[in-house]
Amino acid sequence: METKGRFDPNSPAIKAYENELAHQFVREGTMVAFPTCLPGMTTPITHDECRITALDIDSEGHIYGGTSGRRAHLFASAFHDLTGVVLDVGVVPDGTNSVAVCCGKSRTLAFVNGARGGRAIAIPEIDLAQDWIQEWGLAPQVLQDLGECVSKEPVVHAICDASRSTVIGVTTGHLFTMGIESGKVSVIGEVSGRGHLGMGSSGIFGQDDGARLWHFDLASGKIRRAAVDLPKGEWNAGLRWARGGDTGELLTADDAGRIFSFDENQGFRLLGRAHLAPVGPMVMIPDGRLFGFCGNEMANLFCCDTVSGSVSNLGVAASVFEHRRYAYQFGDAVVGSQGEIVFGEDDNDGHLWLYFPKINRVTRATT
């Protein structure tokens, strides 16, 4: 006996479902999966050493990153002018997990965990502004191991201060600072080392015990524990932050995908809720839209309008340019120099995913 489908193919619900399926990948904008190499000319970072878990961007628009896996690599990349290259700068000896990359004024520091603890690694400034279409020349660069940040404690996260001369980092138990040029570490004090750090207008915020934030005042160098209560929500997992807008507001999400903005003076404001949880890497582009990925195992791209609070599901990442590929997990994200977003794919054979958001229609007032 033949099976008959129990549905009306002409019903509005089925037509809506068909329409959803037709747009399940990157519903808005365009994604390009860029391999970790000069395509066609060099080999990408080894498959199981290429989970991209840390990114930052320097003032020239060059993106530096770190990978995780069997071995951690650090790379530099650029996607403007005549570049279009990801340069594998090197392997971090005994490193397996890149947790942060911080682009300073003079050089970039990466923070990598592994068998020899949580270490700071300096990446020299790399001039990628060459003609990578026709003729190029670059000497291999050497990574510099600056040592363990805090003895026997893995690094959890680190960010630059506004001047990009100092890194503020957190291990599993301590807050530290590091001069980008000097490489000198100062352990500031004990904090709860969970989640990423967020930079506010007066200092750094990190996740404290309970549903609270600690605050590190950059001017005084003091840590204030339990400085801010997190709003009502679920706050067990490590926090992630995005920063943007004219005021440099911070954005974060709780374990259930509720998205909040945070202003040091006005506190938290619930913006909306992603359709999946947890919320992973997210960034705000200059027009005020927040983009990020949500959901385990098979993440979906979402967009949150930070003005209206509306959150839309933009589907699963797929690239039909450069490399034809799906992507399911992402580790970090930065906003590129032209407002595009670069996501780091946290998976075997991870790629840098350039996302060009849909351009919103501008309505001009009639005179």
Partner 1 sequence: MSPGQEIDRRTFMKIGSTAVAANLVPALEAEAKSPGETPYPVKWYPFTHHPDSDTCWSLSVGPDGRIYAAACAESVPGGVVKPVRYNEDRDDLDYLFDLAEMVDDPGTSGRASQCKIHYSFAPSMHDGVLYMATHLSGPPIDLPRYSPWYSWHDAKRCFRGSALLAFDTRNDRVLWWDTLIPKEGCRCLVHDEERGLLYAMSYPRDHFIIYDLHTRKRRDIGRISSINPQALFLDKRHRVWTSSDYGRLVRYTPETDRLEISPGLLAHDANYQTGWHSVFYDVAPSPDRECVYASTWCPNPHLMRIWPNEGEWPRVEDLGPATQARDTTFPIDMFTDHCGGLTFAGDGKLYYVASRWRDPKYNPTPGTGKELQGVVWRLDPRTLERQEVAQLKHPTGVANYVSRGAVDHNGDLFFGHVGNHPSGIFKVSMPAERKRKNAHLPIRMWG
Residues at the contact surface with partner 1, assessed by CB under 8 A: 1-7, 9, 14, 17-18, 20-21, 24-25, 43, 46-48, 70, 276, 295, 297-298, 300, 316, 324-326, 328, 347-349
- Smallest gap from residue 326 Cβ to partner 1 (A): 5
Taking the least distance from each CB to partner 1, the nearer of 24 and 182 is 24
Taking the least distance from each CB to partner 1, the nearer of 247 and 348 is 348
- Smallest gap from residue 337 Cβ to partner 1 (A): 29
Q: What is the DSSP string of 170-204?
A: EESSEEEEEETTT--EEEEEE---EEEEEE-SSEE
- Decide if 299 contacts 347 (C-beta within 8 A): no
Listed residue (141, 163, 257, 270) closest to 218, CA to CA: 163
Taking the least distance from each CB to partner 1, the nearer of 6 and 364 is 6
What tokens were used for 305? 């309008």
Q: Residue 243: which H helix or E strand, with range?
A: strand 241-244
Listed residue (163, 192, 196, 367) closest to 279, CA to CA: 196
User: What strands, in cross-sheet order, belong to the sheet with 352-356?
Assistant: 30-34, 352-356, 341-345, 330-335
Taking the least distance from each CB to partner 1, the nearer of 5 and 12 is 5
Alpha-carbon 233 to chain mean position: 23
What tokens were used for 129? 């502004």
- What pairing do the DSSP bridges indicate for beta strands 117-123 and 279-284? unpaired
Taking the least distance from each CB to partner 1, the nearer of 211 and 276 is 276
Q: Residue 207: which H helix or E strand, with range?
A: strand 203-208
- Smallest gap from residue 252 Cβ to partner 1 (A): 22
Q: Where do the DSSP E strands lie in 50-193?
A: 51-57, 63-68, 72-78, 85-92, 95-103, 108-114, 117-123, 144-148, 155-160, 166-171, 174-179, 185-190
- What pairing do the DSSP bridges indicate for beta strands 352-356 and 30-34? antiparallel
Taking the least distance from each CB to partner 1, the nearer of 7 and 321 is 7
Chain position carrying tokens 């933009």: 314
- Smallest gap from residue 231 Cβ to partner 1 (A): 25
Taking the least distance from each CB to partner 1, the nearer of 11 and 182 is 11
Residue type, 48: D
- Smallest gap from residue 325 Cβ to partner 1 (A): 5
- Smallest gap from residue 105 Cβ to partner 1 (A): 37
- Smallest gap from residue 281 Cβ to partner 1 (A): 18
Residue 35 Cα distances to 40, 51, 82, 271, angstroms = 10, 12, 17, 34
Q: What is the DSSP letter of 144?
A: E
Taking the least distance from each CB to partner 1, the nearer of 50 and 178 is 50
Taking the least distance from each CB to partner 1, the nearer of 295 and 336 is 295
- Decide if 271 contacts 288 (C-beta within 8 A): no
- Smallest gap from residue 278 Cβ to partner 1 (A): 12
